[in-house]
Amino acid sequence: MAATAERTGTPPTAEHISELDVAIEVGPNGPALGAILGAGLGVFYLGFLTTLTEMAVGVHDWLIFQDRVGPLSGKTTMTGVAWLVSWAVLHLAWRKREVPFLPVAALTVALMVAGNVLMLPPVFQRLAVD
């Protein structure tokens, strides 16, 4: 039916949609929400480390993984590690589950907003110690 419609150039019909409905089962949304929440955590980790680096000299110095790059080398490396670990945990926990969409989406938005705020120079510079 779909092939016939494609050949004749006619717009999709109810048969196309029902054929798609029958042919495709979406499956649990856990893997997708794990990736989405993981990304939100990644953004938050980066913002958190950015501000923490300014507030704690010890953290600042510890995060200098490369002298030429400075603490940015440690901030980004640790963010990457924490993001991947978090995502892996979420994926393993949710990969076969149907997870409530709105609470996870709301939490992701909150984490991204917080992370981006903490990355704003007026914010972390105000909290910086001399």
The site for other proteins (CB under 8 A) is made up of 2-3, 5-6, 12, 16-17, 19-21, 23-27, 29, 31-32, 35-36, 38-39, 42-43, 46-47, 50, 66, 68-70, 72-73, 75-76, 79, 83, 87, 101, 105, 112, 115-116, 119-122, 125
CB of 94 vs other proteins, minimal distance in Å:
12
The residue among 1 and 57 lying less far from other proteins, judged by its C-beta, is 1
User: Which sign does the torsion angle of CA 41, 43, 49, 51 carry?
Assistant: negative
CB of 58 vs other proteins, minimal distance in Å:
20
CB of 60 vs other proteins, minimal distance in Å:
14
- Taking residue 116's Cβ as centre, other Cβ atoms within 10 Å add up to 14
Tell me phi and psi for residue 101, to 5 degrees.
Answer: -70, -50
Residue 113 tokens read as 């907003």
- Taking residue 120's Cβ as centre, other Cβ atoms within 10 Å add up to 13
